[in-house]
Copies of this chain bind each other. A is one copy, B any other.
Amino acid sequence: MTELKNDRLLRALRRQPVDRTPIWIMRQAGRYLPEYLKTRAEAGSFMNLCKTPELACEVTLQPLRRFDLDAAILFSDILTIPDAMGLGLYFEQGEGPRFENPVTDRKAIDRLPVPDPEQELRYVMDAVRTIRAELNGKVPLIGFTGSPWTLATYMVEGGSSKEFATIKGLMYTDPDALHSLLDKVTQAVTAYLNAQIAAGAQALMIFDTWGGALTPTAYRDFSLQYMRKIITGLDRGAGDERIPVVQFTKGGGLWLEDQITTGCDALGLDWTIDIGQARQRVGYQVALQGNMDPGVLYGSHDLIRREVQTILDAFGHHPGHVFNLGHGIHQHIDPDNVKFLVDTVHKYSATLLAGS
């Protein structure tokens, strides 16, 4: 493998000292970039973009050509797995993702296959291989998945949801059936992430987008438990060669102490928590990733600078911080503000860390 020229992300995730705080941005390859919209239009559909490795590679690399980012993240969708399990993913204009065949009962759960990542999801692994080759060691490549709970919400609801009425109905009337579903999704996710590692992913992220819809007890039973199983099941090496895992439960700021028990290397934080308080609560057991409100990027350079400084100061002179937004970048953000953000994080953190 080519030598990695910028290992700040991996060092920060391992809580090793860095000369400046690494930064990447959730949804950095996305609709706020005109070149993304162009490639997306050429692909014809979002799923075609995901399923064509050369195009997925192209949009993965686009933000790195504009901004001095410290990581690339595989361009794909968390719902590739349920799609490969036969649920029939499609996107309705303005409606978000939908499934043709949602999972509604025990029988449907029992029938679900566990896909072979190098078969049904080969297009993802091909994208990982293509991106790794194209990156040529510039920055590390992050692979990712949705958490089993989060994937299950879409699989049971048939799409996005506000109240999670159907899956909560299942959870509170037939928890065993839901556990069967989560077990199966966990097997699929574990194989999927191991295949991403084999194909070249150098760090992994688990997006638990909807874990925050649960009670503290249900979060441990129906989300956290399965993220722990995934992390335990990864073939990710040891020591400084170990592939780090970032675990991100949106809306999970009350449960940090529980979250760090899974064996993850870092927690993703949304913007509702003060990152300094989060660090105090988890100590040095994991790194932290986050956590600027994506809305700040609507603001002036002055405002962005102040918010960056506030977050870097709150985290303080410690190893183990990866700068990011607290959730995906919005569609109508000016790319110039993203450039300013990336450069400001680098510049200010370099001063801060040099003084420590």
Contacts and interface: CB of A to CB of B under 8 A. Distances in A.
A237 to B, nearest CB: 35
Summarize A's interface: helix, strand, loop or mixed: helix
Nearest to A216: B274
A195 B303 CA distance: 40
Contacts of A300: 173
A296 interface: yes
Contacts of A138: none
Interface in A153-184: 163-165, 168-169, 171-173
A332 to B, nearest CB: 7
A295 interface: yes
A330 interface: yes
A109 interface: no
A316 interface: no
Contacts of A218: 293
Copies in the complex: 2
B330 A299 contact: no
A337 B330 CA distance: 41
A271 interface: yes
Contacts of A298: 165, 168-169, 172-173
A214 interface: yes
Interface in A189-215: 212, 214-215
A272 B299 contact: no
Interface in A308-345: 310, 330-332
Contact of A254 (B168, B253, B294): B253
Nearest to A293: B215
A251 interface: yes
Contacts of A253: 253-254
Given A254-B254, A300-B173, A332 B165 contact: yes
Contacts of A251: 212, 251, 272
A216 B299 contact: no
5 contacts: A163-B330, A165-B330, A169-B298, A215-B271, A215-B293
Given A165-B332, A173-B300, A216-B273, 16 more contacts: A164-B295, A165-B298, A165-B330, A165-B331, A168-B295, A168-B298, A169-B298, A172-B295, A172-B296, A172-B303, A173-B299, A214-B272, A214-B293, A215-B272, A253-B254, A254-B272
